[in-house]
């Protein structure tokens, strides 16, 4: 039986590319999504990948959603915490609401996604956790105090999980995408986006599939010795 992979935010953007890459690699994939029913229905029609609706910011909803995935498809061995949002504003204009929305989804959302599957991974002595962080968690970004805090936090989560999971056959790793051609980046004002592209030595935005390729590497059974690492995929924009 193929391993079951759960991808949060898995029906659009980078998450959709990850879901498809994992399906093509032979995994049984469940793609979570939060709100866009139409995009999710189209995604399932195009790919045959089942979608599941819940808000990763809500622990009880995550627990119930994951229980449904496991009832339908079997125990989740691979979890890709990809769901994320931006609420960009310079710090002096950032509202507490913008702060909390991003923290709840991008940071607490990782806890809510991994915690319900963690005991099962420990029991079965196998697990793969991949958290999609960001270049902006590594370097910070003007207008993203909230987002950068969550993405830096993601790195702390995986480095800790890597230590806790190792003796149970569980690995936890992070990927830090740079600027990828998704709706999220296209929402950045054009002038700002152009100035960002000018800082990317590769001279272009990344493609979602270029991040999905990193995920497929990390979740493989024979990637067991890669644990607690961060893969940067940013076209050379920033070196750690």
- The upper half-sphere exposure of residue 103, i.e. CA atoms within 13 Å in the direction of its Cβ, equals 9
Minimum CB–partner distance for residue 212 and ligand CAA (Å): 15
Regarding 93 and contact with ligand CAA (CB under 6 A), the answer is yes
Quick one: which of 13, 65, 127, 143 contacts ligand CAA (CB under 6 A)? 143
How many residues sit in the footprint of ligand CAA (CB under 6 A)?
A: 19
Measured CA to CA, the distance from residue 79 to residue 90 in angstroms comes to 33
Residue 5 token pair:
């992979």
Minimum CB–partner distance for residue 171 and ligand CAA (Å): 23
Measured CA to CA, the distance from residue 85 to residue 83 in angstroms comes to 7
Distance of CA 200 to the CA centre of its chain: 22
Quick one: which of 89, 145, 220, 223 contacts ligand CAA (CB under 6 A)? 89
Regarding 138 and contact with ligand CAA (CB under 6 A), the answer is no
Q: What residue is closest to ligand CAA based on CB?
A: 143
Minimum CB–partner distance for residue 33 and ligand CAA (Å): 18
Measured CA to CA, the distance from residue 225 to residue 169 in angstroms comes to 10
Minimum CB–partner distance for residue 73 and ligand CAA (Å): 29
- Find the catalytic residue in 27, 33, 52, 147: 147
- Site residues (CB under 6 A) for ligand CAA, limited to 144-203: 144, 147, 179, 184-185, 188-189, 192
Distances (CA, A) of 228 to 5, 46, 171, 231: 19, 34, 7, 10
Measured CA to CA, the distance from residue 193 to residue 115 in angstroms comes to 36
Could you identify the residue written with the tokens 């190792």? Answer: 166
| Known catalytic residue at 27 | no
Residues at the site binding ligand CAA, with contacts judged by CB under 6 A: 86, 88-90, 93, 134-136, 141-144, 147, 179, 184-185, 188-189, 192
User: Which residues are catalytically annotated?
Assistant: 147
């Amino acid at each position: 039986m193929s391993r079951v992979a759960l991808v949060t935010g898995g029906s659009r953007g980078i998450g959709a590319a990850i879901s498809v890459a994992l399906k093509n690699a032979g995994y049984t994939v469940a793609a979570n999504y939060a709100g866009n029913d139409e995009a999710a229905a189209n995604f399932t029609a195009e790919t045959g990948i089942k979608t599941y609706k819940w808000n990763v910011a809500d622990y009880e909803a995550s627990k119930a959603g994951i229980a449904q995935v496991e009832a339908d498809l079997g125990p989740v061995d691979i979890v890709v915490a990809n769901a994320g949002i931006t609420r960009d504003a310079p710090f002096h204009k950032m509202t507490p609401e913008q702060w909390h929305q991003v923290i709840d989804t991008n940071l607490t959302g990782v806890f809510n996604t991994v915690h319900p599957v963690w005991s099962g991974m420990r029991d079965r002595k196998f697990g793969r956790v991949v958290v999609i962080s960001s270049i902006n968690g590594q370097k910070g970004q003007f207008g993203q105090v909230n987002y950068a805090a969550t993405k830096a936090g993601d790195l702390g989560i995986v480095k800790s999980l890597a230590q806790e999971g190792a003796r149970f056959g569980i690995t936890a790793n992070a990927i830090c995408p740079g600027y990828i051609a998704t709706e999220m980046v296209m929402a950045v004002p054009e002038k700002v986006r152009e100035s960002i592209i000018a800082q990317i030595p590769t001279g272009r935005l990344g493609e979602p599939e270029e991040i999905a390729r990193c995920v497929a590497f990390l979740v493989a059974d024979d990637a067991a010795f890669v644990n607690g690492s961060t893969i940067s995929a940013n076209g050379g924009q920033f070196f750690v």
